[in-house]
Amino acid sequence: ASGVPMPKVYLLKDTSINAFAAGHSSSNAVIGVTTGCMHLLTRDELQAVMAHEFSHILNGDMRLNIRTTGILHGIVSIAVIGRVLCEIATLENSDDETGFIPPLFIVGGVIIIFGSAGVYLGRCIKSAVSHQREYLADAAAVQFTRNSQAMAGALKKIGGLSRHGLLSNPHAEEASHMFFERGLAFDIGEFMSTHPPLETRVARIDPYFEGEFPEIAPLEQHRIATDGVSKKKENAEASSDFMKSAMMAGMMMGGAKMSWNPEAVATAASQPGQAQLQYAAELRESLAPELRKAAHDPLGAQALMFAMLLGEDDTAFEEQLERLKTHCVEAIISETRILHPKAATMDPRAKLPLVDMAIPSLRQLTKDQYASFQETLQWLVESDQQIDLFEYTLGKVLDRHLKNHFEPSAKPRIQYHSIIPLLPRCSTILSGFAHIGHEDTASTEHAFRQGAACLKELGKNLKLLPYSECTLGEMDAAVAELAQATAPLRMKVVNALAHTVGADGEVTIQEAELLRAFADMLDCPIPPFVQSS
């Protein structure tokens, strides 16, 4: 329901209760959870922790965290070297029964002392950055799950566990600001801490909290080795169920058209409410099991994309499938044939959400497999000598979330801090949306003006371009340049597009798909559109 694909989830072998989100953008985000988190929390509590981390993804906190980590590494690197030497000095070895190496320990201690100034400065920086963002993420988790007791319960268990959120890793200092709860053994005062006090965090969620944490038995190491596999699978499935329902996006309630409030789009971006969460879960359950299963397999995900692009007419389908044999292996052809009837009759509102579900599986392809998939997809789109809005939208969504994964490139730098130099690009993209969603000249002009008005006084100078000057290719170039603007400017453009699309009080599925794709390219994901009263 957040408007972004499901991130990969990794397991950290640590008995504490902790988690983190990392990545440069929502398209390459990952979430990590500790073994203790998986074993000691209930399903609802684990879901709340995931929602907390997902809030960091949606709000761009992880990008700031990554940058902060880079800065802090240089500041605290001397102390980190000292900690590593001290740990090596105390390791057991076959030549020394005690495993203690005094000279090395002394050297490490001296280095730690000299590096303490860097640690002090680093913690001040992390504390200034982290506190308010953690409060906001806690509140967002309650909003996403509608279960304040689950969020409070997870925090209380951390407080009642002897190890709390402590991570046994020498590099925990550099990344401590990224975690769900502080990952260090101690902090020199609250103002130096990377996270607010647990008591304060719980009290903000649970007004009846009396300041006492229930004692939680530590996770035994032998339990992890013996029954960890089955328990991990059970909890992973629970987490996966939540993440799957949380990443559905670009859908609508109602029929081919619906009434809506454009103002709600800007407000709801990155803030999916209960209606979006509930509807996303319901739509996911309505999908055919074959389609859902295919979305979670690399081969099936490829076949699923092809099945959604192939013609619905039996004759056209067989002809395209025969020609497809020259581009794909037989296994993909067979799977495509099986999935096509289900894909052809599925609710059109579920197409883009299904694409989102398939993206993590498509990321598991090898580079050669991805190149072949891209070539085949392009051939299918161009095979009928025309491109419809779904084909265009599908290509853009896949390109945004897959291309940089297989062909890493530098993220575009922020070039624009003012909308003024981007006004010509705004004219192009607003004109394109106005022409696509409205047939007659008067309604097209009205839609354009509604969107331009969102840019205040500057919007009055924008002119509606003829259709020949705002084709999909022209809009591509426009959105590529707009993506180099600051986040508030990009959100302002998305708001203007929403008003253009909804100028007539209705939005079609095709318009919604296109708006979702462009918002995604501008890194402003849109949750499900809920019909307004």
pLDDT tens digits for 128-173? 667 778 888 899 889 888 889 999 999 999 888 876 667 666 566 5
> What was the pLDDT predicted at 243?
35
* Long-range CB pairs of 224-230, under 8 A, 24+ apart, other chains included: 224/13, 224/15, 224/35, 224/39, 228/35, 228/39
Is the Cβ–Cβ distance between 27 and 4 less than 8 Å? Answer: yes
pLDDT of residue 420: 93
- What local confidence, expressed as pLDDT, does residue 446 receive? 93
* Predicted structure pTM score: 0.65
Structure tokens at 23: 């990545």
How far, in Å, are 111, 143, 165, 177, 236 from residue 6 at the CA level? 42, 19, 25, 23, 14
**Distinct helix (H) and strand (E) counts, the chain:** 24, 5
Confidence bin at 22 (pLDDT 50/70/90)? confident
In contact, 51 and 272? CB cutoff 8 Å: no
Is residue 215 pLDDT above 80, yes or no?
yes
The answer to whether residues 416 and 426 touch, using CB atoms and an 8 Å cutoff, is no
The 3-state DSSP class for residue 496 equals helix
pLDDT tens string 426-457 = 999 999 999 987 878 899 999 999 999 999 88
pLDDT bin (cut points 50, 70, 90) of residue 314 is confident
The pLDDT assigned to 234 comes to 42
Whether residue 227 is predicted with pLDDT greater than 60 in this model: the reply is: no
Query: Higher confidence at residue 84 or residue 375?
Result: 375
pLDDT tens column, 107-126: 888 887 777 766 666 667 66
Average pLDDT over every residue of 17-33:
84
Burial (CB count within 10 angstroms: exposed 0-12, middle 13-18, buried 19+), residue 322: exposed
Q: What is the pLDDT of residue 287?
A: 86
The strand pair at 19-22 and 30-34 is best described as antiparallel
Instruction: Please confirm, yes or no, whether 53 is among the known catalytic residues.
Output: yes
Looking at every residue in the chain, the average pLDDT score rounds to 79
Is there a contact between 504 and 443 (Cβ–Cβ < 8 Å)?
Answer: yes
Whether the predicted pLDDT of 343 surpasses 50: yes
Report pLDDT digits (tens) over 256-306.
455 556 666 655 555 556 666 676 777 778 889 999 999 999 999 999 999
Segment 402-417 mean pLDDT: 84
pLDDT score at 47? 92
**Per-residue pLDDT, 74:** 67
Exposed/middle/buried for residue 401 (C-beta within 10 Å: 0-12, 13-18, 19+): buried
Between 322 and 233, residue with greater pLDDT: 322
Nearest CA among 309, 323, 313 for reference residue 388? 309
| pLDDT value at 249 more than 70 | no
Strands (E), 359-429: none
Q: Which of 53, 134, 174, 511 is catalytic?
A: 53
Band (84; pLDDT cuts 50, 70, 90): confident
pLDDT at 218: 73
Contact status, residue 123 vs residue 194, Cβ threshold 8 Å: yes
Confidence (pLDDT) at 252:
36
Residue 176 pLDDT exceeds 80: no
